[in-house]
C-alpha cells in the first residue's frame, strides 16, 4: 500500500481538522444539534459534521482505556444524551459517523448499520412509559454483550 502524503488528504478532511480548535463550545454544539435534528432518517451532512467535530473535541481523537471519563470531564455518551434527549443511542450515532468518515466526510447515499446476525436472540429487559408519553425499552443483545435503551414516541 502506498503512503499517503498530507497533500493527498481530501480537502474536506483537512477543513474539518482545522475546525477542531480550543474555541469549540460544548453547550453551543448541543444546541446546534438539537436545532438541526428533525429525525434520524433525514439526518443532514451538517449535523453529521457537527457530531464528528464534537466527538473529536470531547474524546480528543480517541477514548480512555476504561471508556469512562474522569470526574467533571465531558463524555461523548453524555453529549449524545443531551443532544438527542436519549432518543438516539450512542451506538447508532457512532455507526453513522463511521459511515460518514468512510465516505470521505460526505453523507452516504444510504446510512446503514450492521445488524444482528440473529435478532431472535435479543432480550427485552424492561419497558416503561414515561410521564411525557414516550416509551423506554431496555434491550439486551447477547451478541454484543450489552444493553441498549431505545425510546419510542407514544
Q: Residue 17: pLDDT above 70?
A: no
pLDDT of residue 50: 92
76, part of any domain = yes
- 97 and 152 in a single domain? The answer is no
Q: Residue 14: pLDDT above 50?
A: no
- 102 and 132 in a single domain? The answer is no
Would you place residue 95 in the very low, low, confident or very high pLDDT band (cuts 50, 70, 90)? confident
Q: Residue 16: pLDDT above 70?
A: no
- 103 and 84 in a single domain? The answer is yes
Inter-axis angle of helices 45-59 and 11-19, nearest 10: 50
Structural domains in the chain (count): 2
Domain residues for the domain of 32 are 9-114
Taking Cα atoms as reference points, which of 43, 148, 33 lies closest to residue 85?
A: 33
CA distance 89 to 97: 13
Q: If you average pLDDT over residues 83-93, what whole number do you get?
A: 85
Q: What is the pTM of this model?
A: 0.56
Residues contacting 15, CB < 8 A, separation 6+: none
1, part of any domain = no
Would you place residue 26 in the very low, low, confident or very high pLDDT band (cuts 50, 70, 90)? confident
- What does the pLDDT look like over 39-80, one tens digit per residue? 777 788 899 999 999 888 887 754 455 555 555 667 888 899
- 72 and 129 in a single domain? The answer is no
Percentage of the chain with pLDDT > 70? 70
Amino acid at each position: 500500500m502506498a503512503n499517503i502524503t498530507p497533500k493527498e488528504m481530501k480537502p474536506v478532511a483537512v477543513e474539518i481538522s482545522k475546525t477542531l480548535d480550543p474555541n469549540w463550545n460544548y453547550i453551543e454544539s448541543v444546541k446546534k444539534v438539537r436545532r438541526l435534528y428533525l429525525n434520524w432518517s433525514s439526518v443532514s451532512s451538517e449535523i453529521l459534521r457537527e457530531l464528528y467535530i464534537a466527538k473529536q473535541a470531547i474524546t480528543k481523537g480517541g477514548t480512555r482505556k476504561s471508556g469512562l471519563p474522569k470526574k467533571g470531564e465531558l463524555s461523548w455518551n453524555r453529549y449524545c444524551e443531551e443532544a438527542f434527549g436519549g432518543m438516539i443511542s450512542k451506538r447508532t450515532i457512532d455507526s453513522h459517523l463511521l459511515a460518514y468518515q468512510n465516505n470521505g466526510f460526505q453523507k452516504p447515499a444510504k446510512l446503514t448499520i450492521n445488524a444482528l446476525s440473529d435478532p431472535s436472540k435479543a432480550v427485552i429487559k424492561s419497558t416503561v412509559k414515561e410521564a411525557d408519553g414516550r416509551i423506554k425499552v431496555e434491550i439486551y443483545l447477547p451478541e454484543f454483550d450489552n444493553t441498549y435503551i431505545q425510546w419510542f414516541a407514544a
